[in-house]
Structure 1
Amino acid sequence: MMKAADIMTQEVITIKGSATVAEAVNLMKEKNLRALIVNRRHDEDAYGIVTETDIIYKVAAYGKDPKNIRVYEIMTKPCIVINPDLGVEYVARLFANTGIRRAPVIKDKLLGIISVTDILRKSDFVEKPKETVIQQKIQQALEEARAVSAQKGATSKEAAAAWDIVEELEAEASHQRAAKPLKTSFQVYCEENPESAEARIYDT
């Protein structure tokens, strides 16, 4: 699974919140950017972000003079940040749920920035869709759980642990589809082997 760190843009252009919007526009034009990360004022401060949309919607649309407006007046702060270890599909889902198109990648410090364009151009969601990958993992885990149950016994702790893995993967797949399965693989297996339900009863 690709992570945010794998596809983020490492070169991040920052700007001070006290800079004018005119300065931000010039910097965006010079670097061919659609957003700038706004620097923190101190270690406990949050990062901000100012985007081309902020400038168009909040300054240009009202005929305001960009030289008289400061970045801090139109920026978003604190902004949504991305952990570099977050899977790309969850970055995409976060963008979808919040309506944003880009966010800084931060872990203790600013590491980069990730956008919908990065996801589209750099990730492997076309070649390796999560749905296909997770179904393959479920099939492998299911075969392993059945094998362990046959070898160690349907009520063994080893069998319980193996079925836990299956159900965790199925839960992830359900979350991915935003739909709960009618029956889990373990429930189907228990219909075939009723004594297997005891495998989920752990010693305290």
Structure 2
Amino acid sequence: MMLKAKDIMTTDVVTIRGSATVAEAVKKMNEKGRRALIVERRHEQDAYGIVTETDIIYKVAAFGKDPKQMRVYEIMTKPCIVVNPDLGVEYVARLFAQTHIHLAPVIQETLMGIISIGDILKKGDFVEKPKSILLEERIQEAIKDARATCTEKGATSKECAAAWDIVEELQAEAAHQKAERLDQTAFEVFCEENPDAAEARVYDN
């Protein structure tokens, strides 16, 4: 099973109001040993915000501005990128890579926690279980299943087509992960041996 965001997130989230001063935010971060604070929502439809140590350093300290005069809402990011608790940790890592953020709140209706690159590094299983290897194993299994199904039910059967759908989804995922284009799918290899199979896979809408 792939680890999910909720398995490795930090549940003890420290929040702050958008109207608080940056000085208050710094005090809270230092006291609680946090690199970011989640900015509270004002009402149900409001978005969560985030203020990070880099916001404070880049936007306040670097310009010699007075943190006692500046407010959190002036430097926060809102709405911030949020993570679903059931999102696989690998996808959290990919989201961070694509958006160049280091942490995000974990939200499902309410604020459940915060997940950071530090959590992935400390609690992730990517060292023991690299996703690419697991995926390759699953692809080989799925190909075996598909070939067995097609032998049993026939190359032009619905079951055969559905089994190859599963293989192609997995192969597409693996190709996306490696950022490569697939030269030939396992189904295309199968079709060279069973030319009728391709016809059967043109679905009626």
- Common topology (TM > 0.5): yes
In the aligned structure 2, how far is the partner of 1:25 from the partner of 1:201? 60
SS of structure 2 residue aligned to 1:66: coil
Residue 113 (structure 1) shift? 0.3
Deviation digits for residues 124-179 of structure 1 (CA, Å, limit 9, x no counterpart): 11111110111111000000010111111111111111111111111111111111
SS of structure 1 residue aligned to 2:20: coil
Residue 65 (structure 1) shift? 1.1
Alignment of structure 1 residues 1-204 onto 2, 5 Å: 1-202=2-203
What percent of counterpart residues are identical?
70
Code of the residue aligned with 1:29 in structure 2: it is N
In the aligned structure 1, how far is the partner of 2:173 from the partner of 2:192? 23
SS of structure 2 residue aligned to 1:41: coil
Residue 196 (structure 1) shift? 1.8
Residue 199 (structure 1) shift? 2.7
Give unmatched runs, 5+ long, in structure 2.
none
- With the length of structure 1 as denominator, give the TM-score of the two structures: 0.97
SS of structure 2 residue aligned to 1:145: helix
* Contact kept in structure 2, 1:157 and 1:202, CA below 8 Å: no
Residue 203 (structure 1) shift? 5.1
- With the length of structure 2 as denominator, give the TM-score of the two structures: 0.97
SS of structure 2 residue aligned to 1:105: strand
Number of equivalences: 204
Give unmatched runs, 5+ long, in structure 1.
none
Residue 180 (structure 1) shift? 1.6
Cα distance change on mapping 1:203 and 1:17 into 2, 3 Å: closer
Residue 85 (structure 1) shift? 1.0
Residue 193 (structure 1) shift? 1.7
Code of the residue aligned with 1:30 in structure 2: it is E
